[in-house]
Structures are given as C-alpha cells and as structure tokens.
Structure 1
Amino acid sequence: MSDDPARMTREERLAARLRENLKRRKAQARELGARELGARELGTRELRAREAGNGESGTGGLSKPQGER
C-alpha cells in the first residue's frame, strides 16, 4: 500500500482513515481512564486524610461540642 494519497484506492484510503481513528480513540480512552483513576485515587487519599485528621469517620468533618461526647 502506498502512502501517496493520489495513488491510493478508495478502500486503502478508508482503511488508513479507520486506523487513524482507532489510534485516536484508543489514546482518548487511555487518557480518560488515567483521569478517572487519578480522580479515584485522589478521592481515596482525601477521604483517608480527613478520617485520620479528625479521628471520626463518616461524620462529614463535623464534631460534637465538648460536653456531648
């Protein structure tokens, strides 16, 4: 198959475009997956830091007044 677009048949042009599209979509999927993984890891780290920081889990960061503990 020739890389010269003037000499490529219609099927060869379509095949080349499909390959380019597939490469682009795979790159987008990898980038999206990396973003989601990063966000998930960041969320987990933030949650752990909050729990470790205030000593109470599941309270949303609010603590009770001193006399009610």
Structure 2
Amino acid sequence: MADDKKAAKTREDRLAEQLRANLARRKEQTRSRRQGEADLRREGVAVEGGAAANEDE
C-alpha cells in the first residue's frame, strides 16, 4: 500500500516536471516568434497557370 502511494507520488512528480518543461518550451517558442521577422512567404497554393501564386504581381 505504501509503495502504491510512493509510485503515484513519483508519477505525479514526473508528470508535473514534464508539464513545467513543456510550458518552458512553449514560452521560449513564443518569445522567439515575437523577436523574429515577419514571415515573407506567399500565401496560398500555386495552381496551374500561376493564378493564385501571382495575384499580387
């Protein structure tokens, strides 16, 4: 019975640690996106004849 509580506690600790690590990664990812330049890729899918890809040209 005591081993079950210890195992559950260990699992809870492990999950909490993983959650904190995930949150830290997501925060870092958000920070890096804010600091970066805007994405200059064209939007949309190129179609035969280039109509969608060349709308702004």
Interval containing the TM-score (normalised by the shorter chain): 0.5 to 0.7
Structure 2 counterpart of 1:37: 20
Count of aligned residue pairs for this structure pair: 42
CA RMSD of aligned residues (A): 2.0
Unaligned runs of 5+ in 1: 1-17, 55-60, 64-69
- Structure of higher RCO (CA pairs closer than 8 Å, 6+ residues apart): 2
Taking the aligned partners of 1:49 and 1:42, their CA distance within structure 2 comes to 11
Matched residue type, 2:14: E
Taking the aligned partners of 1:25 and 1:47, their CA distance within structure 2 comes to 33
Structure 2 counterpart of 1:20: 3
Q: How does the TM-score come out when normalised to structure 1?
A: 0.53
- Give the share of equivalent positions with the same residue, in percent: 15
Taking the aligned partners of 2:26 and 2:39, their CA distance within structure 1 comes to 19
Higher helix share: 1
Runs of 4+ in 1 over 2 A off after TM superposition: none
Q: Within 5 Å, which residues of 2 pair with 1:1-69?
A: 18-54=1-37, 62=39
Taking the aligned partners of 1:62 and 1:53, their CA distance within structure 2 comes to 9
